[in-house]
Chain A
Amino acid sequence: GESVGLHLPTLSVQEGDNSIINCAYSNSASDYFIWYKQESGKGPQFIIDIRSNMDKRQGQRVTVLLNKTVKHLSLQIAATQPGDSAVYFCAEIALTIYNQGRKLIFGQGTELSVKP
C-alpha cells in the first residue's frame, strides 16, 4: 500500500549543529513532497516543499533534497536552534489524482531534540 516512512524516530543534536532528517516514500507516482513541523499542542506547520522535477530546494536555514531513484527525501536544518525542537513529518501527494481530490500521506515523524 501507500506509505511514507521515516528512518529515525528520534534525533538529538547540539545547538548550532546541522540536522538531517530522512524519509522514504513508496509511491513512485507522487509528484509533490512537503515537510511539516509540529510543536507540542499545535497542528503541523509547513516548512518547505519540493516538486518531483527538482532534486533540491532551499529555504531559510532549511534545504530539502529529493532522490527519486531511491525514493528518498531529506530535510537539512542548518545551525539548529532550540526553537527547532519538534516532530518533523514528511508527506507526499500524487498530483495525478488532482481531479479526484488530494490527500497527504504522512510519515510517522521524527522527533528532533536540540540540546543547548
Chain B
Amino acid sequence: KAGVTQTPRYLIKTRGQQVTLSCSPISGHRSVSWYQQTPGQGLQFLFEYFSETQRNKGNFPGRFSGRQFSNSRSEMNVSTLELGDSALYLCASSQHNEQFFGPGTRLTVL
C-alpha cells in the first residue's frame, strides 16, 4: 500500500500571498488531519477531515482552512501569508487511532 503523499514538498512564497497544499491519504483511510510543525511551537494540530466534513479544529486563525474531497484527498489553504507561517506542514491519514504521516510540505514565507 502506498503511504501518505504530500505535494509540493517545498514551497517558497512571499508575505500576503496564499498557498494550497495537497495530501493524498493511504487508500481506504477516510480521516485526514493536518499539523503545523515549527521549532518553537512543535507539532500543532490544525484540523481533521472525515468524509468531506471538518470534524475537529485546532486553535489557528481563519486564514487556515481546508477541505476534503470524495476520494478522501485533502487540501489546506493559507491566505494572506505571514512570516510566522513558515513551517513544515504535515498531513496524516488514519483508519482508527493510529495516524500515518506524510513527509510534509516545507513552506518558507519571505
Which residues of A are interface residues toward B (Cβ below 8 A)? Answer: 32, 34, 36, 41-46, 49, 89, 91, 93, 95, 97, 100-109
Contacts of B45 in A (CB 8 A): 103-105
- B48–A44 touching, CB < 8 Å: no
* B35-69, CB < 8 A from A: 35, 42-45, 48, 50, 55-56, 58
Interface residues on B, range: 20 to 34
**Pick the contact of B48 from A95, A103, A108 — CB < 8 Å?**
A103
- A101–B101 touching, CB < 8 Å: no
User: Which of A89, A104, A107 has the most C-beta atoms of chain B within 10 angstroms of its own C-beta?
Assistant: A104
Apart from the given pairs A43-B90, A108-B42, 18 other A-B contacts in the complex at a CB distance below 8 Å: A32-B97, A42-B104, A43-B4, A43-B102, A43-B103, A46-B99, A49-B98, A91-B43, A97-B56, A101-B48, A101-B55, A102-B31, A102-B33, A102-B97, A103-B56, A104-B45, A106-B42, A107-B42
Q: How far apart sit A89 and B56, CA to CA, in the bound complex (Å)?
A: 21
Contacts of A34 in B (CB 8 A): 97-99
CB of B66 to closest CB in A, whole Å: 13
Closest CB pairs A-B (n = 6):
A101-B56, A101-B55, A43-B101, A106-B43, A103-B45, A108-B42
Contacts of A106 in B (CB 8 A): 35, 42-44
**Pick the contact of B101 from A45, A93, A97, A102 — CB < 8 Å?**
A45
| Chain B interface, DSSP helix/strand/loop, else mixed | strand
Contacts of A44 in B (CB 8 A): 43, 90, 101
Which residues of B are interface residues toward A (Cβ below 8 A)? Answer: 4, 31, 33, 35, 42-45, 48, 50, 55-56, 58, 90, 92, 94, 97-104
Q: How far apart sit A44 and B90, CA to CA, in the bound complex (Å)?
A: 9
- A100–B101 touching, CB < 8 Å: no
Nearest B residue (CB) for A51: B97
Given contacts A101-B56, A102-B48, A103-B45, contact A93 B97 (CB under 8 A): yes
CB of B32 to closest CB in A, whole Å: 11
